Amino acid sequence: MGISQADGQTIVANLAGQTATVDATPSVSNTAYQTMSGTSMATPHVSGAAAVVWSAKPTATAAQVRDALLTTAQDIDAAGYDNNTGWGLVQTQSAITELQSP
């Protein structure tokens, strides 16, 4: 779902607290999607997670954000870094906690 900033502000100003009905029917058929894997698919997900982590501490350096992501990743294959899953599964909340810790 997407919404513009202007529409969001209008909703907050005029409709906050009211009940609404939302139609969650997909607007595209499921045949429009494909299953993909690999670094081309992981990159946008990890980049988004990194942006969320960095937004929790904007004064952090890129190296600090990277280190927080690496040290909190959930190992899902061979222990430590491996060629199949890298450092593992990103744990965004854990990385935020790690980055914000003194």
pTM score above 0.75: no
Quote the pLDDT of residue 94.
97
Domain limits, the chain: 39-102
Distance CA 95, CA 70 (A): 8
Over range 56-77, report the average pLDDT: 95
Q: 7: which residues sit within 8 A by CB, 6+ positions away?
A: none
Q: Which of the four pLDDT bands, split at 50, 70 and 90, describes residue 32?
A: low
Please list the alpha-helical segments (H only) found in 1-102.
5-15, 39-56, 62-72, 92-100
Quick check: 34 pLDDT over 80? no
Q: pLDDT at position 47, please?
A: 93
Q: How many other β-carbons are positioned within 10 Å of the β-carbon of residue 81? A: 13
Of 93, 61, 87, nearest to 75 by C-alpha is 87
